[in-house]
Amino acid sequence: MNDEPTFIDVLSMDNLPIGATKKINTEIGDILLANVKGKLYAVDDMCTHEDSSLSLGCLKDELISCTLHGSRFNVRTGKPMEEPATEALNRYPVRVENNRIQVCLTPF
Ligand code: FES
Protein backbone atom coordinates (compact mmCIF):
# COMPACT_ATOMS: atom_id res chain seq x y z
CA MET A 1 0.00 0.00 0.00
CA ASN A 2 1.28 3.46 -0.90
CA ASP A 3 0.83 5.98 1.92
CA GLU A 4 2.45 8.81 -0.03
CA PRO A 5 0.02 11.73 -0.25
CA THR A 6 -1.08 12.54 -3.79
CA PHE A 7 -0.59 16.10 -4.95
CA ILE A 8 -2.38 17.54 -7.96
CA ASP A 9 -0.97 20.27 -10.16
CA VAL A 10 -3.19 23.35 -9.97
CA LEU A 11 -1.51 26.59 -10.96
CA SER A 12 1.66 28.37 -11.96
CA MET A 13 3.33 30.42 -9.22
CA ASP A 14 3.24 33.30 -11.69
CA ASN A 15 -0.56 33.38 -11.30
CA LEU A 16 -0.51 33.72 -7.51
CA PRO A 17 1.59 36.76 -6.58
CA ILE A 18 2.14 37.79 -2.96
CA GLY A 19 -1.12 38.95 -1.39
CA ALA A 20 -3.28 37.17 -3.98
CA THR A 21 -5.86 34.42 -3.63
CA LYS A 22 -7.23 32.04 -6.23
CA LYS A 23 -10.18 29.66 -6.21
CA ILE A 24 -9.34 26.24 -7.59
CA ASN A 25 -12.00 23.78 -8.64
CA THR A 26 -11.12 20.22 -7.61
CA GLU A 27 -12.87 16.86 -7.41
CA ILE A 28 -13.54 17.41 -3.68
CA GLY A 29 -14.85 20.95 -4.11
CA ASP A 30 -13.42 24.41 -4.39
CA ILE A 31 -10.17 25.19 -2.61
CA LEU A 32 -8.81 28.64 -1.90
CA LEU A 33 -5.10 29.22 -2.45
CA ALA A 34 -3.49 32.18 -0.72
CA ASN A 35 -0.02 33.66 -1.01
CA VAL A 36 0.88 35.33 2.28
CA LYS A 37 4.27 37.02 1.97
CA GLY A 38 5.55 34.16 -0.19
CA LYS A 39 4.11 31.36 1.94
CA LEU A 40 1.31 29.39 0.32
CA TYR A 41 -1.79 28.10 2.05
CA ALA A 42 -4.76 26.07 0.85
CA VAL A 43 -8.12 25.96 2.65
CA ASP A 44 -11.74 25.26 1.76
CA ASP A 45 -13.14 28.07 -0.35
CA MET A 46 -16.63 27.78 1.15
CA CYS A 47 -17.29 29.69 4.35
CA THR A 48 -18.25 27.38 7.24
CA HIS A 49 -21.16 29.65 8.24
CA GLU A 50 -23.26 29.65 5.08
CA ASP A 51 -22.66 29.20 1.38
CA SER A 52 -20.34 32.00 0.39
CA SER A 53 -17.11 31.77 -1.57
CA LEU A 54 -14.19 33.18 0.38
CA SER A 55 -12.48 33.95 -2.92
CA LEU A 56 -14.79 36.98 -3.09
CA GLY A 57 -13.23 38.35 0.08
CA CYS A 58 -10.17 40.38 0.77
CA LEU A 59 -6.88 38.85 2.01
CA LYS A 60 -5.08 40.92 4.62
CA ASP A 61 -1.94 39.24 5.95
CA GLU A 62 -3.18 35.76 6.98
CA LEU A 63 -6.85 36.74 7.19
CA ILE A 64 -9.46 36.26 4.47
CA SER A 65 -12.80 37.93 5.03
CA CYS A 66 -16.17 36.49 4.11
CA THR A 67 -18.17 39.02 2.13
CA LEU A 68 -21.56 37.74 3.33
CA HIS A 69 -21.44 38.32 7.12
CA GLY A 70 -17.89 39.45 7.74
CA SER A 71 -16.20 36.58 9.57
CA ARG A 72 -12.48 36.44 8.91
CA PHE A 73 -10.57 33.17 8.66
CA ASN A 74 -6.88 32.62 9.21
CA VAL A 75 -5.67 30.81 6.06
CA ARG A 76 -2.72 29.30 8.00
CA THR A 77 -4.81 27.73 10.77
CA GLY A 78 -8.23 27.64 9.08
CA LYS A 79 -9.81 29.10 12.22
CA PRO A 80 -12.44 31.83 12.22
CA MET A 81 -11.50 35.00 14.09
CA GLU A 82 -15.02 36.00 15.00
CA GLU A 83 -18.65 34.94 14.68
CA PRO A 84 -20.97 34.24 13.01
CA ALA A 85 -18.62 31.52 11.66
CA THR A 86 -17.51 29.15 14.43
CA GLU A 87 -16.09 26.14 12.56
CA ALA A 88 -12.62 26.03 11.07
CA LEU A 89 -11.94 25.54 7.38
CA ASN A 90 -10.22 22.35 6.25
CA ARG A 91 -6.56 22.94 5.42
CA TYR A 92 -4.66 21.16 2.67
CA PRO A 93 -0.95 20.54 2.16
CA VAL A 94 0.48 22.70 -0.59
CA ARG A 95 3.90 22.67 -2.27
CA VAL A 96 5.71 24.13 -5.26
CA GLU A 97 7.51 21.98 -7.83
CA ASN A 98 9.18 23.58 -10.86
CA ASN A 99 7.22 26.81 -10.35
CA ARG A 100 3.92 24.90 -10.28
CA ILE A 101 1.67 24.94 -7.23
CA GLN A 102 0.49 21.51 -6.16
CA VAL A 103 -2.18 20.70 -3.59
CA CYS A 104 -2.94 17.50 -1.74
CA LEU A 105 -6.69 16.87 -1.55
CA THR A 106 -6.43 15.11 1.80
CA PRO A 107 -6.87 17.69 4.57
CA PHE A 108 -4.40 17.93 7.45
S1 FES B 1 -21.48 33.13 5.10
FE2 FES B 1 -19.49 33.64 5.78
S3 FES B 1 -19.79 34.68 7.65
FE4 FES B 1 -21.79 34.12 7.02
- CA proximity to 46, closest of 26, 62, 66, 27: 66
Q: Report how many domains make up the chain.
A: 1
Q: Which atom of ligand 1 is nearest to the CA of 52?
A: 1
Q: 106 in helix, strand or coil?
A: coil
Name the residue of 55, 69, 79, 87 whose CB sits within 8 Å of the most ligand 1 atoms, as the mutation to test its pocket: 69
**Residue at 2 is within a domain:** no
CATH number of the domain at 63, please. 2.102.10.10
Distance between CA atoms of 40 and 10, rounded to whole angstroms? Answer: 13
Q: How far is CA 84 from CA 1, 53, 62, 67, in A?
A: 42, 15, 19, 12
**Residue at 60 is within a domain:** yes
**Residue at 25 is within a domain:** yes
Phi, psi angles (nearest 5°) of residue 92:
-125, 140
**Each residue of 12-34: pLDDT tens digit?**
999 999 999 999 999 999 999 99
pLDDT above 80 (res 4): no
**Residue at 94 is within a domain:** yes
pLDDT band at 105 (very low <50, low <70, confident <90, very high): very high
**Residue at 50 is within a domain:** yes
Q: Which atom of ligand 1 is nearest to the CA of 71?
A: 3
**Residue at 1 is within a domain:** no
**Each residue of 44-94: pLDDT tens digit?**
999 999 999 999 999 999 999 999 999 999 999 999 999 999 999 999 999
**Residue at 65 is within a domain:** yes
Range of the domain at 45: 7-104
**Residue at 58 is within a domain:** yes
pLDDT band at 3 (very low <50, low <70, confident <90, very high): confident
Q: Residue 68 contacts by C-beta under 8 Å, 6 or more apart in sequence?
A: 47, 49, 50, 52
